[in-house]
Structure 1
Amino acid sequence: MNVLAAWELGGNWGHVARDLPVLRRLQAMGHDVRYAARDATIAASLCASIGIPCVTAPHGAAIRRMPRGLAGYGAILFADGFGDAEILGQRLAGWMRLFAEHRIDVVLADYAPAALLAARMYGIPSVAVGSGFEIPPDSVELPSFLTDADRDAPARRFSEGLVLFNVNRVLRALGAAPLERLAQVFQGARNVLTTVAELDHCGARPDATYAGPLQDLPGGVAAHWKGTTGPRVLVYLRGVDPVVGHVLRALDAIGAEVIAVLPDVARRPDVRAEIQVFRQPVRFDGLIETADLVIASGSGTVTTASIAGVPVLVLPGNAEQAMLARRVTQTGAGMSVDGGTAATVLDAIDRLLRDASFRTGARALAAKYTGLRMESAVQTVIDEIHNVSSHHS
């Protein structure tokens, strides 16, 4: 079986960390696998280290950072070229050329809406894998990113209708059946959500396949706790905004032992030696489970910590992360600080370390999902790949 993993939207290490364990397992089973990645600079060296061919995913428009106030999925797709028929048509054609060149049997789509559309047109099955945000519910009206959904509804519906009109215009021109609703852009023949119901950005879905967190980067650096007397805090944050500095200074002030993964920080902050700072990927196995607190923003790390029974402080930097932060707060396993000051960040860290209710909430979540591990998540994705392949042949 020839499998192509496709990654189009989003950035950083999370998508590669989710895709490569699946491709590596498929490769070990004797399947032919390759990776078409949005950011080949991130993926290529990691793919090369484990012998997986990697190419740049077909694209048409520059992918812009999602603004904090963005209201809905229509705006994301519009900014990614779905609002331009010529760009979208070229992108779909690029994917179909890849399918033909490598005789692809199944597409594994990681936040790759154009690849999913192309697979549908080309007549090959697909499995969509991602968070609850990356695979929204297949509903007539897509969820709002904002808490005041009624206020943004007119603009959101307009953008979604405009993108759907344009998508169907392209599909008809290429001889394919039109879509009934925009949500279908994100749907594979099967969907696997790499989270749990309580942390689904869009709310729990009774019919969803929740595999739990899936992330493992080959070649990640091994880090170890030094065994000092302070609380153990694992930090994984992107960006260089003031909040990162607030976090490190707060942890320095309370004498915490810290492992901080900060890929975007140019130089080591002026903090105690007990604060270990890494710019490269770090292997989290054995670290998260033994931490007293995890400070992060991304779905993979937050979900992994939560079902390991560790309280989480979420520091959202965009609408997607804000949606996740609200779910974490609702579980009682953590809290969030949005755009906080040094004082609010320090207060949140102090509360999470001192208030036993957060640890109780996290342990309750962990007890519910004791069987979910990275290996089981990989197997869930592979089972779905085999299912769609067998039904198609």
Structure 2
Amino acid sequence: MEFVQPDCLQRQPALTVVPSSLVHHLALQYLKQAEVLRQRLVFWKNTIAEYRPHVVVADYAPSLTMAARGTVGSVAIGTGYSLPPPEAAECVPYRKPFGIGPAPSEQFLLNELNSILASVGAWKLERLPQMNQATAYALMTIPIFDPYWEVRQQDYLGVEHPNGSPSPSPETDEVAVGYFSGGIANTAIIDGMKQSGVPMLLYLGGESERWRDRIAGSKIKLVEKPFDLKRQLPGRRLAIGSGSLGFVSAAMFAGLPQVVFCRHDEGWTIAKAIHMAQIGFAGHEHEMTADRVASMIESAANTSLMREFAVALSARYSEFRDKATLPKLVQLVLMVAQQKYAP
């Protein structure tokens, strides 16, 4: 088995139009870096020709799946956000596009992308979402956190949690848990946590020292290691985080109300799911004030109906608890590898 990556990667240029879906976003980025995409496709096609693999595994790598089409079987790995449904007739939006100037049409993007694909001898696309098309799919999420669940045709493998997924506890305590593996950029988040007065265990990745003086005298206790999600989440009063799929899904399985301060698109789609399910509150981290943070935490911590909804949601998705996600992924890869791929 070989792990390879192209050496033609470059920093992505800023977009003047904020796209409506990930496929739309990728197409815009690809066309802004047309030569880089061309080099990347050539790299993948040459690598496939040199190694002659039985299967390629693409983890958030649509350029690889596009290069592999018609040549070798492939498995595409992704979450609901990072693996938009390739069978869709058009880009499935999770928001309206906005920004400076009009967004290019999907037909224009498709024509331009096909021109690049044709220049390197790769198969053309019939529709834009087809850039994610593979022989098989490993969808590492559950329906509630998939912004495309209404049109999705692939099966869900679930979310893998270290030591297994938690379950709701019949007993609860007064302590909340906060998980920010990437740290916190907005001081108002810390100030609002402190202002809420809710006792809390808080993990900040490697940024504990940065905030230690600021939380002095509060009911917040900094922890230096990530939580054991199966053991430390059940029975807690509340879960607070930045919208990472692993933590949010574990808190959902534990039946906890949640407050999510997201900072990127995938976190935004997950936060939206929490809000729509009425098991928590959500907002963009950079828009938060201390008062608003404190209010969201206090409300979520003290709304019994929200906890009832969270426990009910945990039961609804119990079939995904402790799913053997990684063994299923291995089985999927082996299954595709054993097939004789017919273009």
Q: TM-score, normalised by structure 1?
A: 0.71
**Which of residues 258, 261, 268 in structure 2 aligns to 1:315?**
261
CA–CA separation in structure 1 for the residues paired with 2:276 and 2:13: 30
**1:267 matched residue in structure 2:** 210
CA–CA separation in structure 2 for the residues paired with 1:75 and 1:392: 33
Output the amino acid matched with 2:74: S
State yes or no: 1:76 paired with 2:76: no
Go from structure 1 to structure 2 and tell me whether the alpha carbon gap of 1:166 and 1:60 turns closer, same or farther (over 3 Å shift): farther
**Which of residues 33, 36, 43 in structure 2 aligns to 1:87?**
36
CA–CA separation in structure 1 for the residues paired with 2:119 and 2:104: 24
State yes or no: 1:345 paired with 2:293: yes
Please list every run of 5 or more consecutive structure 2 residues that lacks an aligned counterpart in the other structure. Answer: 164-172
Root mean square deviation, CA, Å:
3.2
The alpha carbon displacement at 1:75 in A equals 5.0
Give CA deviations for 1:253-309 in whole Å, capped at 9, x if unaligned. Answer: 41513132345677243224852154x766544233353322222223222221332
**2:339 matched residue in structure 1:** 391
Contact 1:67 1:318 in 2 (8 A): no
CA–CA separation in structure 2 for the residues paired with 1:369 and 1:66: 37
Contact 1:168 1:178 in 2 (8 A): yes
**Which of residues 272, 282, 294 in structure 1 aligns to 2:239?**
294
**1:247 matched residue in structure 2:** 189
SS of 1:105's equivalent in the other structure is coil
CA–CA separation in structure 2 for the residues paired with 1:232 and 1:274: 9
Output the amino acid matched with 1:259: L
CA–CA separation in structure 1 for the residues paired with 2:209 and 2:33: 37
| Higher deviation after alignment, 349-358 or 263-272 | 263-272
Contact 1:107 1:126 in 2 (8 A): yes
CA–CA separation in structure 1 for the residues paired with 2:15 and 2:260: 18
Output the amino acid matched with 2:276: Q
* Percent identity between the two aligned chains: 24
Q: 1:355-374 maps to which residues of 2 (within 5 A)?
A: 355-373=303-321
Give CA deviations for 1:121-155 in whole Å, capped at 9, x if unaligned. Answer: 5x111111212111112312212242x47x89x94
SS of 1:315's equivalent in the other structure is strand
Output the amino acid matched with 2:146: D
The alpha carbon displacement at 1:91 in A equals 0.3
Q: 1:57-68 maps to which residues of 2 (within 5 A)?
A: 57-63=6-12
State yes or no: 1:35 paired with 2:22: no
CA–CA separation in structure 2 for the residues paired with 1:313 and 1:274: 16
CA–CA separation in structure 1 for the residues paired with 2:324 and 2:151: 20
**Which of residues 355, 365, 376 in structure 1 aligns to 2:324?**
376
CA–CA separation in structure 2 for the residues paired with 1:382 and 1:284: 24
Contact 1:116 1:126 in 2 (8 A): yes
CA–CA separation in structure 1 for the residues paired with 2:319 and 2:266: 27
Please list every run of 5 or more consecutive structure 1 residues that lacks an aligned counterpart in the other structure. Answer: 1-31, 37-55, 218-228
